[in-house]
Structure 1
Amino acid sequence: MENKYAQKLIEKIQKEILQDKFELASIITDLKKIREYSLEEQNPVVTKSLRLAYEHLENNNAFLIGIPDDEPLESESESTKNVSEENDIESFEYFLSILFDLTKKNNLLDLKEYNKAFLAF
């Protein structure tokens, strides 16, 4: 994200997580605000990813999507391995970190994998 306000909100969420403060309502509110900034930047992958992320958090009260695999998945049935039964803080931290720097091609690819996992959940 290029918007400095969006970056500050991402950093705020990251700091709270480092302090073991996973306050769902606050995170969802911040993700919605970051999504508004992404709409201005006209990046549909990021905008969709943010919406899917906060909807996932609202529906499950946790982040249950794992970090995308480095290797492309062979079949749809394997994508279910990318689901956690507990709040996956590490994956959520990674999700936030790739939002921060979208100039790296792999970050955008990983966001697309997150989107697929959210939709398959």
Structure 2
Amino acid sequence: MENKAAIKLIDKILVNLDKTGINTDTLIDDIKQLRSYALEEQIPLVVKVLRLTYEHIEENNSFLIPILADAEDVEEEIDNEPVESLKYLLSLLKNLKNKINIADLKEYRDLLTNF
């Protein structure tokens, strides 16, 4: 994302995830705010992924989508998986010019849709 406020918000969310894990009280509001920046920048993929992400967290009180890099090796770091996966998803948003990031966002979109 290009918006400096959006990047600052992503960084804030990442720090909060490290400190408190998935704290739904603030996390969902922060993701909704981040989604509004994506709407302003007119990035449909990011808007959808963020909506699916906060709806998933609201329903499950966690982020149950495995981190893409470890999807094949599920046994590794099961305890930290939701936080690490969500942190990875959010970090993808910082550089949307990277084709791999876009591909991973599409994969997250599909995983969230089919969950």
Q: TM-score range by the shorter chain?
A: 0.7 to 0.9
Aligned to 1:58: 58
Say if 2:22 and 2:62, in contact at 8 Å, map to a contact too. Answer: no
| Superposition map of 1:79-118 within 5 A | 88-118=82-112
Which residue identity is paired with 1:118? L
Output the TM-score relative to the length of structure 1. 0.82
Name the TM-score, length of structure 2 as normaliser. Answer: 0.86
Count the aligned residue pairs. Answer: 109
Residues 105 and 39 (structure 1), Cα distance of their counterparts in 2 relative to 1, 3 Å cut: same
Which structure 1 segments of 5+ residues have no match?
71-77
1:119 shift after superposition: 0.7
Q: Aligned equivalents of 1:33 and 1:109: distance in 2?
A: 23
Give ranges in structure 2 of 5+ residues lacking alignment. Answer: none
Please, what is the CA RMSD of the aligned residues? 2.0
CA distance in 1, matches of 2:53, 2:32: 10
Report the alpha carbon displacement of residue 69 of structure 1 after superposing the two structures with TM.
5.2
Q: Give the share of equivalent positions with the same residue, in percent.
A: 48
Runs of 4+ in structure 1 over 6 Å off: none
- For residue 48 of structure 1, what is the aligned residue in structure 2? 48
Relative to 1, partners in 2 of residues 1:117 and 1:5: Cα closer, same or farther, differing over 3 Å? same
Write the letter of the residue equivalent to 1:100.
K
